[in-house]
A = this chain, B = another copy of it.
Amino acid sequence: MYDAYFKYLRNFSPKPLTDDEKALIMKNFTPFRLRKRQYSLQAGDICKKFAFIVKGAMRMYTIDDKGIEHVVRLGIEDWWMGDRESFVNLSPSRYHIDALEHCDLLYLTLEGANELQEKVPAFCQMKSILDERNQMANHRRLTSSISSTAKMRYTEFVECYPELADRFPQHIIASYLGINKDTLSRVKRQHNLK
């Protein structure tokens, strides 16, 4: 389990981890197996653990007044999943997180994250790089959501995240893109004809 994370860390810092660092990581990451359809977080609860996805597929979403689900984030292997706002501020989350496939996770608490950030440079490095990337990705998603049609948004999504496009069911992707599942179906049909 932990090897997946050690390997992942090498993407951010080429320097090999010391044994002490590995021990710290193993101490602070708790392996967890989340079964399909099981919740990792329920809206109203505080997000006390951030998940590193070793294997599987997850989503984070809200449910609005009309009972409609809106997918806010998707994640598969090597992605992180959690409600950052709730995690950092210890505030109740507005989001649900659940598994769309059986998942192998490594759970990290806030204290764990803080300790690793202090004592494991590679982790700190990872965090700051991810923060930057995340910020840019969100920004791009926002721009495209504001200025593009449904068809363009879907095309961009497939180009940008091909792994996600065939991993998640279509209605989930539609929700992620902020469009109706029927609309997405239509868009794909018209797209194929050209």
Contacts and interface: CB of A to CB of B under 8 A. Distances in A.
A36 interface: no
B62 A147 contact: yes
A62 B139 CA distance: 13
B143 A72 contact: yes
Contacts of A145: 142, 145-146, 178
A146 to B, nearest CB: 3
A175 to B, nearest CB: 8
User: What is the copy number of this chain in the assembly?
Assistant: 2
A176 to B, nearest CB: 8
Interface in A115-166: 131-132, 134-136, 138-139, 141-143, 145-147
B147 A70 contact: yes
A111 interface: no
B143 A142 contact: no
Contacts of A141: 142
A115 to B, nearest CB: 18
26 contacts: A62-B143, A62-B147, A64-B147, A68-B147, A70-B143, A70-B146, A72-B139, A72-B143, A72-B146, A88-B132, A131-B131, A131-B135, A134-B135, A135-B138, A138-B138, A138-B139, A138-B142, A141-B142, A142-B142, A142-B145, A145-B146, A145-B178, A146-B176, A146-B177, A146-B178, A147-B178
Interface of A: 62, 64, 68, 70, 72, 84-85, 88, 131-132, 134-136, 138-139, 141-143, 145-147, 176-178
Given A70-B143, A142-B142, A147-B178, 16 more contacts: A64-B147, A70-B146, A70-B147, A72-B139, A72-B143, A84-B139, A85-B139, A88-B132, A134-B135, A135-B138, A138-B138, A138-B139, A145-B146, A146-B176, A146-B177, A146-B178
